[in-house]
Structure 1
Amino acid sequence: MRKALVAALMLSSGIVIADEGQWQPYQMPSIADKLSERGIEIPAKQLADLTQHPMNAVVGLGYCTASFVSPQGLVVTNHHCAYRAIQYNSKKEHNYIADGFLAKQQKDEPSAGPNERLYITEAVTDVSAEVKTGLSDDPLKRFETIQANRKALIKECESDENYRCSVRSFHNGLEYYLIKQLIIRDVRLVYAPPESVGAFGGDIDNYEYPRHSGDFTFLRAYVGQDGKPAAYSEDNVPFKPKSYLKINADGVKAGDGVFVAGYPGSTSRYRLTSELKFASNWLYPTYAERYQLRIDTIEAMGNQDSNIKLKYAGSLASMANRMKKYNGLLDGFKATDIAGIKQAREDDFRQWLAADTQYQSYQAQFDKLETLLIDQRHALQTRYYFENAQSSALLSTAKQLYRLAKEKTKPDAQREEGYQSRDMKMFTARLKRLDRSFDLSMDKTLWLQDLNAYLAQNHRVEALDKMLNSDDSNITLSDKLDGLYSLTGLTDQAKRLAWMDADVAAFETSADPFIRLAVTLYDTNMAQETAQKTLAGKLSKARPDYMEAVIAYYKANNWPVYPDANGTLRITYGMVDGYQSKDALYKQPFTRLEGIVAKHTGIAPFDAPQKVLDAIKAKRYGRHMVESVYQDPASWLCRLFSCLDKPESFGSVPVNFLSSVDTTGGNSGSPVFNGQGDLVGLNFDSTYEAITKDWFFNPTITRAVHVDIRYILWMMDEVDHADNLIKELELVTN
């Protein structure tokens, strides 16, 4: 605790310790001194071992992070991460999105859906040499050899069907690691607060602070009676994890050291300045424009039809989150000259390179990389509208089914990823899930928007234009789409599933209009895919050469060296701390229950449930109230260093808090640990000023936003009376 306070005082006195880094677990011993400075007492070697607590309690959802919190397979994650599970179980007669859900007994826990999985990472192995064996100078052959080597490693790793393996690129292809994960296929919904708690503030508060969001949900992992992973069955039993997290009911205070473990999705910190400029000038504005149009359309049609609103709730939430992020990135690029910062570092790097004889030969490689990136950007712009013009869920389904028939003519090892035998369970589940996330009128409206955008630009494709054109001027494009939807059989689940067993000839002679369109577009799509693979083959040589020199440059400057996020398990550390925001206000590190009442308007998204408001107004805090969230001013360290003047009276239950940990998308739901490895919160967001950290880490303003464990316990204890779950948790105190 004293070490954490020292770190806090160093920050307050202007001595900044940068908490940058999304570290691979094996790297923990190399930064043991930094962990110690933050008051993290768990040995670095223990954090590096995925078979030990607490890392073996951290699990992936495929798009978010979660963690085991009981010996009975109970899992906690964010509400927005479990949104699909809540949506899957919501119907007109019981809307769990609006009302919340609590299973009082395990027998009442419904399936989270056929696509939901938990992934437990058990091993991470360096396979760089194996992946790079036998590479050709021919770009396409080079790409194909890398893929073949990856698939061979994956096949060997998946000799047990209960495991899912992948080979991921690190440092842009400089290294490759084989990730082995146990798959839990039966995931069930246990407890979710209403959306008015889990997403209090909605899109308005997204990426903002102060926040008052109860972004949490509990799930449970089930397995067969033999203890092995199995598909959903009423006979299944709760999974017994190798370890689970203890929950510290006392939470944390400002200045405490914390760390987060999870599966961050993607960052671009080693990308070139030209890539950032392209993202800022074209990519993000173009994506944002399309997302906003789709959001407006779904909201408008959803307000007219509650069934549409339920079916597209998950898609809408996801798009709104991405939209806010794109806007935040664009605002951040304007507020801070990140392109200038990156360019200055890039210029310094090139000067260092020219002065070091060991790396001078790489200059020509970087020039080649820039040329390849120009080709890549042009190809993306050329494909963009054509790919969007195929966005109909039914056309996407038809394309996947026809591709499956084509791939099945090859030996399994030579099939494209996603179409191998290992992928068929998930493939089938996706086809089934369409019924719960598809509405014909909504699909047609969104598709028509993309088709009109395609027709309004110059990068056209003859095969698609033929379908869009009509000899009869009285037939509109909307009329033509009506004809496609009225004649297809793909809206019927049984017919969709039957196509999985059809051969190529059956597709090529089919009268189904979506199947026919998929067949017509196949050659064009394959030609574009081959061009992408060829360019990827060229980049698979150029980018690793670049990274090799960049890493040497970083080490020469004593800067942290860690790979960009790529969806694999990482650890990041920091401290509980507020920050000076762009409007010159100091953002306090904790928010209180009373902030919910202050923000409540009774109108979504500031429509807190009455039971929550009543408990707050009655000051029914229970055992979860804290008097102060700051360090004791009478401590010897405060006397020595003269602590900053902070309000001592808190007198409430903490709702959300800030820390300096280095997170990004995919870290949602990640457990926030105190220095002893107890669970003290869940990561769920970043501040608006920190969104640009995907490109550049600024330690003075980069803050992650977490749900305080004391708020979760308060909701369970005083509001929803989830006594059965509280008894299941192992609560500890300081």
Structure 2
Amino acid sequence: MRYALVAALMLSSGLAIADEGQWQPYQMPSIADKLSERGIQIPAKQLADLSQYPMNAVISLGYCTASFVSPQGLVVTNHHCAYRAIQYNSKKEHNYLANGFLASDQQQEPSAGPNERLYITEAVTNVTEKVTHDLSEEPLTRYQEIQQNSKQLIKACESDDNYRCSVRSYHNGLEYYLIKQLIIRDVRLVYAPPESAGSYGGDIDNYEFPRHSADFTFLRAYVGKDGKPAAYHEDNVPFTPKSYLRINANGVKAGDGVFAAGYPGSTSRYRLTSELKFASQWLYPTYADYYQRRIETIESMSATDADVKIKYAGGLASMANRMKKLNGLLDGFKATDIVGIKQQKEDDFLVWVNREDPEQAKVIENLEALLTEEQSAQQQNYFFTIAQSSALLDAAKKLYRLSLEKQKPDAQREQGYQQRDMKLFAGRLKRIDKSFAVAVDKMLWQQDIQAYLAQNNRVKALDSLLNQNLETELSAKLDGFYALTTLKDRKQRLKWMDAAPKQFETSSDPFIRMAVALHDTNMAHEKAMKTLQGKLSTARPAYMASIIAYNKANGWPVYPDANGTLRITYGMVDGYQSRDALYKQPFTRLEGLAAKHTGAEPFNAPQKILDAIAAKQYGEHKVSSVYADPRSWICRLFSCLDKPEEFNSVPVNFLSSVDTTGGNSGSPVFNGKGELVGLNFDSTYEAITKDWFFNPTITRAVHVDIRYILWMMDEVDRAENLLNELELVK
């Protein structure tokens, strides 16, 4: 039975593989025929050019994707991507998370926070030869040389302080690219629906379909009066982007070709079967237990404290999302024998390798041995790592490390501790206040220490600090840490950025003392991992070279695993067979939202949305008849022209077969002409395992329909000032 399922899935993958791929923009011309087959009319060469529309309007938040939608620097992304900006501006007196926010004019747009950035990718350059030329055979030295070569490239790239550059590994170190991005440092909040709309359905609906989420928010980019990026200042002016997206107010219908552009975080499709087994048997269950414990603690402690609830809202939402994804991965591995599928594909690959290049089989054996070593180290270090989870201890560790790194020339410092990093370093220290409460931090830390004390991989340096014979007095001991530290105060934290190592080593602050005491052990672990990475920097690229040759020989797509860099993916608007006798249609509509409403979280839709639905206000204001048209997608799909009144509604969310993952949140979804028709915000539960294996029959991404966004702006919130900025086309 297992092998029949494996064969069936591999066959379906071969037949429908066209929509698989998180492609680098430069690869677009090589798949121009596939884009054309999907009805994507915009030239592939245009998509490959980052200086042209629409790619020069697609930007990164550093953790999500966004896009420019007006000549005045207006940006649209997901509500959950802008959560920190909304949280930053929320207080007991005006809780924008609960009530939403709309600036009536640009003067009313508040800062999204000192750490918020927009990154505009302007250049992507292959620097493989410069990074890998004449590397040492000694693993640790090899690792350090790769880092040093990368830092030199970055330094040359960042001759202008307005740019942030990075060197990213593709195909597990087979290739390296230098990414050059313009940084916008003044980001402001413009318009956000209330959380009850923005994350309607909450964790229950997360990764599910049908969905009815208004997962969108508008931000704005500001610069100095000279047009150059600058920190927040009341005199700054809106940024003028090189281009902004045109919005097709008619949206899309089932069967339409679409594509999405964004910054997907990470996938593991080229990883070995042994790595999948380790993830499914240890890594994912361990992390799931960890997040579940933290979620339960935070929810319990925030239930009676509004301030705690606001401070930990962003972190809680992030952990809940990770938790749902981990459970989805584990359930997916049970429902579909992905281990068996990957093992069969790997076995076929090994047969090919032994036939084409028998020596390469030894490289794979070496890689497997290194992976076993890496996995063992992860397990041994896990509890020691989480036992240092306090936000204040983390700050103390980084501050002490900074003092030591500053003793070196800037070029030799560890990345994250160079002069180029200091603004962000200080920003993170400042931001602690917005997401920290002593009681919560202490409880979470205490639980992690107790988990450490309950297992056998103990570390002498930590045990001597905790005095393991006093486990019953752990709570009182930690109370002393928080009572005696000065790190709770923002000014004191920032002062430590200028302190010398000796000041740390003679400090009486308990968190500082702990950071100093654990430093050597942490550095020893880091050195061991760097040495291992040095070994893997030889083994993985050699393995990937064979995988790429094998895929090409079989006519399969060759694209790098996601790594947080700009990618394009394409597909079509389509539903799917989720399980026996249950086919999920590609669109949801307003009536489904109202039907889900219970009045209690997470199905507590705002009354103004319910009122507009009940009154059938489907487009009577700014752009009437755009959102709901009995001759539009629903009737074309269901041939309902004889009863248009039953279907005259507004699409809310829709499905497509584009290939996305975490980091694609907020990605613009385009029609074939390159016009904005939606925002990516999720995947279906069945598709979560696509990070390891892309199954085209069930892999679907979930998008906010642009017609719902426009309807919310027009009929619900009367955001005429913003609608006037948009370029709407039909």
TM-score bin, normalised by smaller chain: over 0.9
Instruction: Measure, in 1, the Cα distance between the counterparts of 2:315 and 2:113.
Output: 16
TM superposition shift of 1:361: 1.3
Instruction: Measure, in 1, the Cα distance between the counterparts of 2:629 and 2:517.
Output: 65
Look up the equivalent residue of 1:625 and give its one-letter code. Answer: A
Per the alignment, residue 527 of structure 2 pairs with: 530
Deviations along 1:426-449, one digit per CA (max 9) or x if unpaired, are 001111111111100000000001
* SS class of match (1:663): coil
Q: How do residues 576-655 of structure 1 correspond to structure 2 at under 5 angstroms?
A: 576-622=573-619, 623=625, 624-627=627-630, 628-629=632-633, 632=636, 650-655=647-652
1:402 aligned onto 2:381:
no
Deviations along 1:540-599, one digit per CA (max 9) or x if unpaired, are 000000000000000011000000000000000000000000253110000010011100
Per the alignment, residue 262 of structure 1 pairs with: 262
Instruction: Measure, in 2, the Cα distance between the counterparts of 1:494 and 1:666.
Output: 33
* SS class of match (1:182): strand
Per the alignment, residue 286 of structure 2 pairs with: 286
Instruction: Tell me if the contact between 1:412 and 1:421 (Cα under 8 Å) persists in the aligned partners.
Output: yes
Instruction: Tell me if the contact between 1:590 and 1:629 (Cα under 8 Å) persists in the aligned partners.
Output: no
Per the alignment, residue 129 of structure 1 pairs with: 129
Deviations along 1:119-168, one digit per CA (max 9) or x if unpaired, are 00000000000000221110000000000000000000000000000000
TM superposition shift of 1:629: 1.9
**Alpha-carbon spacing, 1:320–1:722, altered in 2? closer, same or farther (3 Å):** same
Instruction: Tell me if the contact between 1:630 and 1:648 (Cα under 8 Å) persists in the aligned partners.
Output: no
Further displaced range: 182-191 or 428-437: 428-437
Q: Identify which of 425, 433, 442 aligns with 2:431.
A: 433
Q: How do residues 68-467 of structure 1 correspond to structure 2 at under 5 angstroms?
A: 68-356=68-356, 359-467=357-465
The CA RMSD measured in Å over matched residues stands at: 1.7
Instruction: Tell me if the contact between 2:634 and 2:647 (Cα under 8 Å) persists in the aligned partners.
Output: no
Deviations along 1:324-375, one digit per CA (max 9) or x if unpaired, are 000000000000000000000000000011111xx22111010000000000
Per the alignment, residue 3 of structure 2 pairs with: none
Deviations along 1:357-408, one digit per CA (max 9) or x if unpaired, are xx22111010000000000000000111100000000000000000000000
Instruction: Tell me if the contact between 2:222 and 2:237 (Cα under 8 Å) persists in the aligned partners.
Output: yes
Look up the equivalent residue of 2:96 and give its one-letter code. Answer: Y
Instruction: Tell me if the contact between 1:680 and 1:709 (Cα under 8 Å) persists in the aligned partners.
Output: yes
Deviations along 1:684-723, one digit per CA (max 9) or x if unpaired, are 0000000000000000000000000000000000000000
Instruction: Tell me if the contact between 1:413 and 1:420 (Cα under 8 Å) persists in the aligned partners.
Output: yes
* SS class of match (2:303): helix
* SS class of match (2:694): coil
Instruction: Measure, in 2, the Cα distance between the counterparts of 1:625 and 1:647.
Output: 11
TM superposition shift of 1:17: 5.6
**Alpha-carbon spacing, 1:190–1:274, altered in 2? closer, same or farther (3 Å):** same
Instruction: Measure, in 2, the Cα distance between the counterparts of 1:648 and 1:165.
Output: 54
**Alpha-carbon spacing, 1:54–1:631, altered in 2? closer, same or farther (3 Å):** farther
Look up the equivalent residue of 1:383 and give its one-letter code. Answer: N
Identity %: 75
Deviations along 1:627-683, one digit per CA (max 9) or x if unpaired, are 242584899xxxxxxxxxx99963210000000000000000000000000000000
Instruction: Measure, in 2, the Cα distance between the counterparts of 1:625 and 1:527.
Output: 62
Per the alignment, residue 5 of structure 1 pairs with: none
**Alpha-carbon spacing, 1:631–1:575, altered in 2? closer, same or farther (3 Å):** farther
Gaps of 5+ in 2: 1-11, 620-624
* SS class of match (1:728): coil
Q: Identify which of 567, 570, 579 aligns with 1:570.
A: 567
Instruction: Tell me if the contact between 2:650 and 2:707 (Cα under 8 Å) persists in the aligned partners.
Output: yes
TM superposition shift of 1:621: 0.5
TM superposition shift of 1:467: 1.1
- Between the two proteins, the alignment pairs up a number of residues equal to 709
Per the alignment, residue 490 of structure 1 pairs with: 487
Per the alignment, residue 659 of structure 2 pairs with: 662
**Alpha-carbon spacing, 1:583–1:503, altered in 2? closer, same or farther (3 Å):** farther
Look up the equivalent residue of 1:426 and give its one-letter code. Answer: L
Per the alignment, residue 9 of structure 2 pairs with: none
* SS class of match (1:682): strand
Look up the equivalent residue of 1:152 and give its one-letter code. Answer: Q
* SS class of match (1:476): helix
Look up the equivalent residue of 2:633 and give its one-letter code. Answer: V
Q: How do residues 686-705 of structure 1 correspond to structure 2 at under 5 angstroms?
A: 686-705=683-702
Q: Identify which of 699, 708, 715 aligns with 2:705.
A: 708
**Alpha-carbon spacing, 1:474–1:582, altered in 2? closer, same or farther (3 Å):** closer
* SS class of match (2:359): helix
Q: Following TM superposition, where does structure 1 have runs of at least 4 consecutive aligned residues deviating by more than 6 angstroms?
A: 646-649
What is the TM-score when the length of structure 1 is the normalising length? 0.95
Instruction: Measure, in 2, the Cα distance between the counterparts of 1:474 and 1:138.
Output: 43
Deviations along 1:452-500, one digit per CA (max 9) or x if unpaired, are 00001111111100111167x5960000000111000000111100000
Instruction: Tell me if the contact between 1:216 and 1:712 (Cα under 8 Å) persists in the aligned partners.
Output: yes
Deviations along 1:16-38, one digit per CA (max 9) or x if unpaired, are 46300000000000000000000
Per the alignment, residue 7 of structure 1 pairs with: none
**Alpha-carbon spacing, 1:170–1:15, altered in 2? closer, same or farther (3 Å):** closer
Instruction: Measure, in 2, the Cα distance between the counterparts of 1:115 and 1:137.
Output: 40
Look up the equivalent residue of 1:536 and give its one-letter code. Answer: Q
Deviations along 1:88-143, one digit per CA (max 9) or x if unpaired, are 00000000000000001000000000000000000000000000022111000000
**Alpha-carbon spacing, 1:583–1:634, altered in 2? closer, same or farther (3 Å):** closer
Look up the equivalent residue of 2:652 and give its one-letter code. Answer: V
Q: Identify which of 668, 671, 674 aligns with 1:671.
A: 668
Per the alignment, residue 715 of structure 2 pairs with: 718
Instruction: Measure, in 1, the Cα distance between the counterparts of 2:420 and 2:668.
Output: 30
Further displaced range: 16-25 or 392-401: 16-25
1:682 aligned onto 2:679:
yes
Per the alignment, residue 548 of structure 2 pairs with: 551
Per the alignment, residue 67 of structure 2 pairs with: 67
Instruction: Measure, in 2, the Cα distance between the counterparts of 1:17 and 1:521.
Output: 50
Look up the equivalent residue of 1:581 and give its one-letter code. Answer: S
Per the alignment, residue 9 of structure 1 pairs with: none
Per the alignment, residue 3 of structure 1 pairs with: none
Gaps of 5+ in 1: 1-11, 636-645
* SS class of match (1:123): strand
Instruction: Measure, in 2, the Cα distance between the counterparts of 1:542 and 1:325.
Output: 30
Instruction: Measure, in 1, the Cα distance between the counterparts of 2:471 and 2:258.
Output: 66
Instruction: Measure, in 2, the Cα distance between the counterparts of 1:189 and 1:633.
Output: 38
* SS class of match (2:125): strand
**Alpha-carbon spacing, 1:533–1:647, altered in 2? closer, same or farther (3 Å):** farther
Deviations along 1:190-209, one digit per CA (max 9) or x if unpaired, are 00000000000000000000
Look up the equivalent residue of 1:573 and give its one-letter code. Answer: Y
